[in-house]
Structures are given as structure tokens and as C-alpha cells.
Amino acid sequence: MLEVKDMVVAYGRVNAVKGITFTVEKGQVVTLLGTNGAGKSTTLRAISGLLKLVSGSITFEGQRLDGVPAHKIVERGIAQSPEGRRLFRRMSVEDNLKLGAYSRKDPAGVRSDLARVYDLFPVLGERRHEAAGLFSGGEQQMLAIGRAMMSQPKLLMLDEPSMGLSPIMTQTIMRTIRTLQSEGVTILLVEQNASAALSLADRGYVLEVGHIMFSDTGRALLGDDRVKRAYLGAS
Amino acid sequence: MSDTTTSANRLARYQTSAHIAGVVAAVLGIVSVLLPWSYAHEPLDDVAYYGAPSPLQYNYLGLMVIVLVMFGAPLALRRKGKFRDRIAWNTGARFGGYAMLATALVAVAGIGIEAGGLVNVDPGGWIAVAAGVLATAAGLVLLPSAAPRTGTFRTPAWGQILAIAVGLAAVLFAAAYALGLTDSGAFLFYLTFALGLALTLVRVGLFGWLAQCAADNKKVLVFAAFLVAFLFPFTQNGSDANMSIATQVLFFSATALGLNIVVGMVGLLDLGYIAFLGAGAFTSASLSGSLFAHINWHPPFIVTVLISGVVSSLLGLLIGTPTLRVSGDYLAIVTLAFGEIFRITMNNLDGSDGPNITNGSNGINNVPELGLFGFNFGDPHVMLGVTIGRFANYFWLMLIVLALIMVVFVNLNRSRIGRGWVAIREDELAAEAMGVNTFGLKLLAFAGGAFLAGVAGSVKAHYDVSVTPDQYVFLESAFLLAAVVLGGMGTVMGVLVGATVLKLLPEKLRFFSDYRLMLFGLLLVFMMRFRPEGIIADERRQLEFHAEDEELAEEVEGELIAYHDHYNPDAAKTEELR
């Protein structure tokens, strides 16, 4: 479904992603692992069109994505819940969600998806007219995921959804991802919490300073010694 | 904490005495208006006579009556009840005391300056100051009341509409009266009085109740407000001086509202907005059939308006296309430069080097009066026994233009485009990630704002009679921006208030015209310190500027998580792996 080939992305003259290649199949959960500065968020930003490629290509459902402006990419069916959530803090929950559906032109469908998000996260429904900035970190993360879902994406990209959350909240978020997966949404997940991400993922790629070091199925990586040492904190 | 509690306990014993002292002060104030305040007759439109208040002093008398009620009501309402508990009598009384002192001091200072020395102040003036001091002291002894809950009073619909009508009539009367004052000292006195009175009524909770009435009857309020504005020329009885000021306020407001789309809603800092007004004015003047114009085509005004708007928005596109792709600071610099380039270009299009379009610094003079549907805006006519002059004609036209701009603004605010704009203001990158075409929407706002300015400018050319480059200088852009920031970014009401204040004050307070930039600077600094969201705040903005509590809560939450992770690292991991 998504094919990234030899992608190089740079901030100014510094290459943050130095030629990576990976694929995401329809219905899969794929996770990118790596330490800070490995280039995970950069990869997501490049896919959603917020950053330009230096070289390489991105193909989504057989069509080239590189060079397409960001708002057109959302229309093609890729949504991103960006790093640090980046909610519109002064806007209400409902306005945030409506902004997630900005590219859609079917009011009835948007209404039913609003109901679906409130169903998935009841706390958002109960306080739908309150400003997003007033919610707790976990609730804000729910809103960020819900907002990304509102565009009815074929591919949902989540950047560190468990960042700054309590273990219980992390579990809730991971359960949500599993629910979305079972509904057939393809998910590209970037996580620091490797164990949680790998236990969900069909496939995982390990990035280090802009390169993909190795990849395998989620289960295999969970048992991999190198992964254990570097990301799971086991000896 | 304990300090304030003990001092509160100490003060609690003197509450009744303070209320009585306040009543005495108010009575003293009433006595003072029966005595002359000044020996000379010139200051403050003559406050030198015995036995009866001067017209200006009647305002002060009204303030006294209100202060009397504030201090007296808690004495009269001994039993518990909604009138005693929901109204913030004590806070109102305290601010009433401040208002008394401030007006009395302004009066004495005004008399001293205008008549040459404080010897000219008669006993009445000193009694007013003494009453003010006493009332302020009594107010400071009072324990502040809880926040007023007057919004919870249940009022029948007719009562609410009556309240709106009385409120608006008071505004109309106050505005007409203020415009009628020619003496600077008297105007300053009246301004202090009006501000003090408004503050007192806000604090006591009257505005909370009025706001509730207004919220329940929004359509009535909007309609009534326009009716009041429409009736304004009838209160002036053909006085051109005041109508001219009022019309200028409307021009300024309409332009500021256009700028408010760009700055307030989308958050683009435009420092050269006046150039779009100028472009509209020059276009309109060139097509007007003035003898000094160099274009020999005189379309009807309806067409001219549209052409002016289009010319301005094309300029907006020209400036916006290259600059809106980059971050905000560049836009500020480029628009600042654009404003200057516009002025200098208009100065140089005098035919000595290139085409002659504007006659250089002389500009295009003798722009004929506006004609619309066979009606000449320069002709005075009599309506209901009142002469409606040229300025009143333009006033009504601008009122219609302003109403149209307001309708556009409010509808945009609620629309999908408006939501996209606010999202760009809040977080441009996140908006882009949500599929908002940020560049396109910014360009639309920029060009749309320019269009509105062009429309306003095309009317202004006829109103001003002559259009010269030096009417459209950077200072005017700065004032427009100040009106938006002062009034409240992103709101309609706020910008109207800001524009009115910034345009009206310099017209009326001629004596401080040398210092007006300094005073506006000070005003802005104080606003940014004490009320950064502007006089009338956008709900979202208010959150933005008073978010300390919110951030604190987040910090605590973060620490709790860190603490939890630190002490239960294994618990967390095992739970997830399970």
C-alpha cells in the first residue's frame, strides 16, 4: 500500500533520513523503532508532505506522493497524529475533530464519524465543548488520534502516541490502536515504548541515525537480542 | 494568607461605619455641585455658579446618586436575599469611590490649568475632592464582595428588551453629549466620569445582567444597535463637525475590521495595510471624473467600487504570493516595506519619469461628490425636521458598508474557511497536517482583507475630496493595528470599540495632540500588561493569555508520571507485556 524507496530527507544541509526503504501492506500495523534523532518523525513528516524529499520516492496505492502538497495527501487518505499531539489547544474538542475532517465534503459522514470517536473515547464526548488545552495528557492523546481518524484515512500515522502518558493511559491507547487495526485501518506507528509497539506490530523497522539497520516481524523483533539490549532495557 | 485573614477580621468591625461614611461622602458630593467649583467662568464649560449644577456637573450628580445607592443599599438590605447577595455592592462602592476621586481631581486640575492656577478653585471643587477622598477611604475599608451573580436573575423578555433599549439609548445619549463638548478639560472630565461610572457598574454586576439580557436577545440587540447608530445624525441637528468625526470613525472601523481578518483571525502581521486603502482611494479618484484625474473613463460608482476592491486585492496577491510561503516575520517586514513603496510610488507617478497618474504629492483633488442611483451625497436634505448634511449621508453609507463587512466577518468566522484560518493561527503545521491548504487560505485572507480595504478606500476618496499620498503613511497602518490589538483581536465588537477610542480621542483632545503617540504607546504597554486579550476578548484568546494555571497543572501531571515511572519501572513494563 505504501512504498518508501531510497528516501533522503534533510533539514537544511543535514540529512536526517539517509536513504531508507520500507513498505506497509494494507491492514498491517508497522512500527518504526529507534532512539531520538534516528529519523522516525522525519520519515512521517516526509510522507505527509510537510517535508520535501532530497531524493528517493514515496508511492501510495500505486501513485507517487513525493511533491504532492500536504493538504492533497490528506485527501488521498493519509492522516497523521503528529509528535507532541499538536492539538489546537484553544479550540473546543469538537472543533479539533472537525478540523481533522477538514478535507471531507460529506457532512453526514463527518457527523457519524464524530459519533464514532465519542463512542471510542467517551470522555471527549462528555466534554466536547471544552477547550482541548484543558484536558489531561492522555485525553489529549485520545483527541489527537480521534482527530487523525476524522479524515477517514486508509493509512493512519501515529507519532509517539504514548509519549508522556502513564502506563495505564498507554495501555488504553494501545488498545485503541488494536481496535482500529481490527477495523481494517492500516497503521504506521512510531514509538519509543518498543515493547508496547512490537507486541502490536505485524512488522517493525529499526532505525539508527537515518538508516534502517534491520527489520522483521513484530514478534521476532520482540525476541531479538539486539532489540532487547537497545530498546527493552533487558540484559 | 494569615495576614489577610487577620486584617479582614479587623476591618469586619468597621463595615457599617464605612457604609455610613460612604453615604456621607456622596451627600457631600451632592452639596458640592450646588456650590461653585471655580472662580473663573471659562474652565470646564463654566462650573462657577451658585445653587444649581452646571450641565457637566449633572453627570457628576448622577455618579453621586449611584455611589449613594452602592454604599446605602447594604445598610437598607439587612436581610438575606437575592438583591443583597447576588449584587457586588461593596466592590461597586469601592470603584464608585475611585471614580468620585478621579473625576474631582480631573476637575480641579482642569480648572487649575485652564484658568491659570489652583487659586481659581472655589470651595465646591475642594469639597468634591474631599468627598472623593472620603469615599475612596470608605471603599478601601469595605471587604470586597464575592463575584456578582447578576446573570442568574430571571428577567421577563420584555424586561430584557427594555434593558437593552435603555442601555443603547444611554450609549447614544452619552456619545452625542461627548461629541458636543468642545472644551478639552470638560471632555476629559466627562471621559473620566464615564469610564469611572462604567467600571463601577461592571464591578457591581449590572453588566453581567445586561450581558445575559443581550445573550438572550442577540438579534434584537444587533438590530437595535444599528438603529441607534442610524439615528445618531438626528441627535446632531446638522452639526458637520461631529458628523465628520463620526464618519471618520466608521471609515476607520471598517478598515480595521478588514485588517482584523488578516491579523486577528489568521494571525498574519500586516504592517502596510493602509496601502490597500490607498490603492482603493487612488483607483476610485482616478475613475471619478475629477478634473485632476488622468483616466478618461467614468463608470458608475458601483463598478468603481468593485474595480477598486479588485485592484487592492491584486496588490495583495502580488505581495502575498512570494511572502506567505515563508514564516510570519518575513511577512511583517515585506508588508512594512510595501506600505512605504506604495506611498513613494504614488509620490513619483507625477509624469516627470513615467506616466502621470497621481500628480505626485499634490494628489488627485476635487474628487466629485458620490452619486448613487441619482442621489448626490453632497446635497443636504431635511428629514423629520432635522437637516441631514453631507457628512450624515456618508455616515449612513459607511454604516451600510460596515454592516456588510460585519456580516461577511461573522459568517466567515463560523464557516469551514474560518475554522481553517483559526487553525492556521493556532498551529500552522498541525493545520497543514490536517489537510488545511494553509498557503491558499492565507492568500485568500490577505487578498480578501485587501479587497475590503479597497472598497472602504473607494468611498473615502469621495468623502475626503482629495486623495494624496501622504494620507496613507505607515503611522496610519500602525494605528489600525493598534485599534485591532487594543479592542481585541478576532472580535467584531472589540475592533469597533478600539477603532472608536483611537479615532475619537485625538479629535477631542486636541491639546495633547503633540503627545498622542507617546500616550498611545503607554496605553498599549499597559494593555499588554494588564489585559493582553484586548478590551473585548475572543473566547479562545482569553484562554491563550491566561493559561498559567493550565500549564501548572500539566507540569504537575508530568512530574507525577515521572515519579511513577521512577519508582515502579517494572510494574509498568510487566503490565504492558502481559
| Count of beta carbons in the 10 Å neighbourhood of residue B502 | 23
Is A233 near chain B, with CB under 8 Å?
yes
Residue B567 — pLDDT band, cuts 50, 70, 90?
very low
- CA–CA dist A39, A32 (Å, integer): 9
Q: How far is CA A66 from CA A9, A43, A53, A57, A210, in A?
A: 11, 12, 7, 6, 18
| Model confidence at B7: pLDDT above 50 | yes
Q: Give which of B416, B429, B434 to mutate to test A binding, by max A Cβ within 10 Å.
A: B434
Radius of gyration of chain B (CA): 28
Q: Give which of A52, A65, A99 to mutate to test B binding, by max B Cβ within 10 Å.
A: A99
Query: Of B544, B419, B562, which Cα lies nearest the Cα of B488?
Result: B544
Question: How do residues B417-466 score in pLDDT, each as one tens digit?
Answer: 888 998 998 888 889 888 899 899 999 998 999 999 999 999 888 888 88
Beta carbons of A189 and A31 less than 8 angstroms apart: yes
Question: How do residues B208-218 score in pLDDT, each as one tens digit?
Answer: 777 777 767 67
Which parts of chain A have pLDDT scores under 70?
233-235
Q: Which of A95-99, B240-244, B308-312, B408-412 has the lowest mean pLDDT?
A: B240-244
| Model confidence at B568: pLDDT above 50 | no
DSSP H helices in B265-386: 274-286, 301-323, 328-348
Which DSSP symbol is given to B118? Answer: G
Q: Amino acid identity of B132?
A: G
DSSP-based three-state secondary structure for B1: coil
User: Are the beta carbons of A71 and B550 separated by less than 8 Å?
Assistant: no
Region label for B270, one of left (φ > 0), alpha (ψ between -120 and 50) or beta (otherwise):
beta
Strands in A63-64's sheet, in edge-to-edge order, are A14-24, A2-11, A53-60, A63-64
Is A95 near chain B, with CB under 8 Å?
yes
Residue B478: its H or E element: helix B474-487
Is A48 near chain B, with CB under 8 Å?
yes
Domains of chain A as residue ranges with CATH: 2-232 (3.40.50.300)
| Model confidence at B102: pLDDT above 60 | yes
Q: Which residue of B has its CA nearest to A219?
A: B577
Q: Which of B20-24, B97-101, B115-119, B286-290 has the lowest mean pLDDT?
A: B115-119
Structure-derived torsion over alpha carbons of residues B227, B231, B232, B235, reported in degrees to the nearest 10: -150
The shortest CB-CB distance from A70 to any of B432, B561, B572 is to: B432
Q: How far is CA B473 from the centre of its chain?
A: 22
Residue B548 — pLDDT band, cuts 50, 70, 90?
very low
Is A71 near chain B, with CB under 8 Å?
yes
The stretch B386-392 carries a mean pLDDT of 74
Q: Which of B34-38, B234-238, B428-432 has the lowest mean pLDDT?
A: B234-238
Mean of pLDDT over chain B: 77
User: Are the beta carbons of B434 and A166 separated by less than 8 Å?
Assistant: no
User: Are the beta carbons of B429 and A90 separated by less than 8 Å?
Assistant: no
Give the per-residue pLDDT at B79: 66
